[in-house]
Amino acid sequence: MSSRDRDWDGVRLHVVTGKGGTGKTTVAASLALALAAEGGKVLLVEVEGRQGIAPLFGCPPLPYEERGVAVASGGGTVHALAVDAEAALLEYLEMFYGLRRAGEALRRFGAVDFATAIAPGVRDVLLTGKATEAVRRRSGPGRGARRGGRSPLVYDAVVLDAPPTGRVARFLNATAEVAGLARVGPVRNHADQVMEVIRSPETVVHFVTLLEEMPVQECLDGIAEVRGVGLNVGGILVNMVRPPLLEPAVLAAAAEGAVDVGALARGLEAAGLPGHERLARELSGEVVEHARHMRMEAGARDRLAGAGRPCYDVAFLDGGVDLAGLHRLAGSLRDQGAV
Ligand SMILES: Nc1ncnc2c1ncn2[C@@H]1O[C@H](COP(=O)(O)OP(=O)(O)OP(=O)(O)O)[C@@H](O)[C@H]1O
Ligand SMILES: [Mg+2]
């Protein structure tokens, strides 16, 4: 074990949300690799039926079954699971009621659609239930307590690639709604157990955002909503961060429209570029644009800071997202002390 302090020590269920397309799946995968870096076993779960994880790790589409997908830098492993609500429902029917064959009939009948029509939260409970079950699962015969101590946990951490910000609070809180419908019995017990994990300090909801107006607004609204239903907000992961190209003083001046075109032309001339004066004039426009963009990003960071949660940078990967890139992002999350 390393002795360094990490922000999310003690957290075992990392829920990753964010505005659509801001990089939830990419960041969730990087976080899973980062968590596995010290030799642990981490489960990465997706629930949207989109098969977003498999291509990231260069795997064929995931079956409804946990599969090893990557080895982290320190030797730990990342496993992945694409949860399917219908398969999860059949699994629960079998587990609680021994209804395997009835389950098959129900599958043909469209059981999940039926259950969802009665209680809209059921689908979400089935999906979150798989993640919370993995958080609590223990190895060994019977997976239960043993005399003289409990058998070890199967996963050190679970990362949930969750629905987008607009739906995440409802998604995570659906269990409370369903628990309200069933007063007693296995469904109620199950819902209570799921909720217990989700509300415990072992679970946090992380927000992925870009430094742009709309994603930042959604991030802040999402944080308020998640807090509003009494869940723990984790960190803010600022994705696709590009380093500034110029010194702060030059950037500040350029944002006001002040660019030393003469100095730029001399630099271009020294670099042996023909037509340096015209080039310098054209380039100065781009310098101003870049500086204004950086200023807008700084404003977005200030707004995010108002949420009072730790922020982490996730670099923009120039060559696109591949496994090497995910490892790089994982290393950077560790360098920033997240995990
Ligand atoms: N740090 C990054 N650097 C470069 N490209 C990135 C980065 N993060 C994400 N992308 C790219 O942006 C696109 C969206 O990323 P991703 O699929 O992870 O987002 P998402 O939030 O999960 O999307 P959805 O809402 O559709 O599930 C993908 O093409 C991905 O490769
Ligand atoms: Mg995704």
Question: What distance in angstroms lies between residue 1's CA and the mean position of ligand 1's atoms?
Answer: 32
Looking at the domain assignment, is residue 306 inside a domain? Answer: no
Atom of ligand 1 at shortest distance to CA of 29?
A: 18
Find how far residue 54's CA is from the centre of its chain. Answer: 15
Atom of ligand 1 at shortest distance to CA of 316?
A: 3
Atom of ligand 1 at shortest distance to CA of 314?
A: 1
From CA 120, how far away is CA 213, in angstroms rounded? Answer: 32
Looking at the domain assignment, is residue 74 inside a domain? Answer: yes
CB atoms near residue 98 (< 10 Å): 10
**Ligand nearest to the backbone CA of 24:** 1
DSSP label at residue 164: P
Atom of ligand 1 at shortest distance to CA of 161?
A: 22
Residues near 66 by beta carbon (within 8 Å), at least 6 away in sequence? 43, 79, 80, 81, 134
Binding-site residues, ligand 1, Cβ < 6 A:
18, 20-26, 52, 164, 239-240, 314, 316-317, 321
Q: Output the residue whose Cα is nearest ligand 1's atom 11.
A: 23
33 three-class SS: helix
Query: 315 near 238, Cβ under 8 Å?
Result: no
Query: 172 near 198, Cβ under 8 Å?
Result: yes
Question: What distance in angstroms lies between residue 162's CA and the mean position of ligand 2's atoms?
Answer: 8
Looking at the domain assignment, is residue 1 inside a domain? Answer: no
From CA 164, how far away is CA 176, in angstroms rounded? Answer: 20
Atom of ligand 1 at shortest distance to CA of 20?
A: 25
Low-confidence ranges of the chain (pLDDT < 50): 1, 143-144
123 & 263 share domain? no
Residue 161 confidence (pLDDT): 98
From CA 180, how far away is CA 188, in angstroms rounded? Answer: 8
Task: Quickly list H helices, the chain.
Answer: 24-35, 53-56, 85-97, 100-109, 111-118, 122-136, 165-181, 186-199, 213-228, 248-255, 261-270, 276-305, 323-335
Looking at the domain assignment, is residue 327 inside a domain? Answer: yes
From CA 250, how far away is CA 287, in angstroms rounded? Answer: 9
From CA 226, how far away is CA 283, in angstroms rounded? Answer: 45
113 & 181 share domain? yes
Which phi and psi (to 5°) does residue 72 adopt?
A: -80, 170
72 & 191 share domain? yes
282 & 169 share domain? no
257 & 234 share domain? no
Question: What distance in angstroms lies between residue 230's CA and the mean position of ligand 1's atoms?
Answer: 28
Residue whose token pair is 């415990």: 200
Residue 126 confidence (pLDDT): 85
**Ligand nearest to the backbone CA of 208:** 1
- Best residue for ligand 1 mutational test, from 314, 321, 323, 328 (most atoms within 8 Å of Cβ): 321
Q: Output the residue whose Cα is nearest ligand 1's atom 28.
A: 23
Atom of ligand 1 at shortest distance to CA of 321?
A: 31
From CA 297, how far away is CA 276, in angstroms rounded? Answer: 30
- Best residue for ligand 1 mutational test, from 15, 16, 19, 25 (most atoms within 8 Å of Cβ): 25
Find how far residue 83's CA is from the centre of its chain. Answer: 16
Residue 100 confidence (pLDDT): 60
Residue-number span of the structural domain to which 255 is assigned: 248-292
167 & 237 share domain? yes
The CATH number of the domain holding residue 208 is: 3.40.50.300
67 & 154 share domain? yes
**Ligand nearest to the backbone CA of 22:** 1
Question: What distance in angstroms lies between residue 23's CA and the mean position of ligand 1's atoms?
Answer: 4
Burial of 151 (C-beta count, 10 Å sphere; 0-12/13-18/19+): middle
Looking at the domain assignment, is residue 311 inside a domain? Answer: no
